[in-house]
Amino acid sequence: MIEPGSTSESGFTFIGETVLHEGYVISVAQGEFETPEGDRITRDIVHHPGAVAVVAIDGDEVILVRQYRAALHIDLLEIPAGKRDVAGEAPEFTAARELEEEVGLRPLGLELLTGFHNSVGFCDEYVHVFLATAFEPVETAHDGPEEAHMTIERWPLDDAIAATSDGRITDSKTQIGILAAARRLGR
């Protein structure tokens, strides 16, 4: 959360915000700012608790999930991921929990690949992306109807890399994660 009265490097000052909606995952606020010239402006801001994602590579295959996404009303191919909805939980613990819940694999180690802000024009969400290459099987524990109906797909890593640029994979965290993993693995 931005502290009222704080000023950015470029001279914008945050005055405050009014929460317009408190949802299940997000809140929507109208923020008020002062420009470097002293003008007042308002911006819509979506607050999100953040997320994690895991590029799980088993041998030469990347483990993906195909999951229904209500905002688009389609099933999307993605790397396992989830929101940071447990207060105080470190991102690597959230990532391990999500991988177990979604695909039934407990990572024996996680390496932070990268992190990114998802939609900076209106949202404060930050995604931590991890790499996992060794696992032990566990029971899945799907959370919600979308996960209960998701499917797990194993793709050759080279096919997944190609799919990030030919339109088969359009999810940003999946594109970023696969390309970062490919670079990390020297592909």
pLDDT tens digit sequence for 101-143: 999 999 999 999 999 999 999 999 999 999 999 999 999 888 8
Domains defined for the chain, CATH in brackets: 13-47 (no CATH), 51-184 (3.90.79.10)
In this structure, which amino acid lies at residue 103? V
Active-site residue 98, yes or no?
no
pLDDT tens-digit readout, 6-39: 999 999 999 999 999 999 999 999 999 999 999 9
Q: How far apart are CA 44 and CA 38, in angstroms?
A: 19
Tokens of 179: 């390309």
d(CA 133, CA 8): 40
DSSP 76: E
How far is Cα of residue 31 from the mean position of the Cα atoms in its chain?
24
Q: What is the reported pLDDT for 92?
A: 98
Give the DSSP H/E element, type plus range, for residue 177.
helix 172-184
**Rounded CA separation 122/44 (Å):** 6
Confidence (pLDDT) at 112:
98
Catalytic residue among 98, 102, 125, 147: 147
User: What pLDDT does 180 receive?
Assistant: 98
pLDDT higher than threshold 80 for residue 75: yes
Q: Radius of gyration of the chain from Cα atoms? A: 19
pTM of the predicted model as reported, rounded to 2 decimal places: 0.94
From 156, 41, 165, 143, select the one nearest 82 (Cα to Cα).
Answer: 143
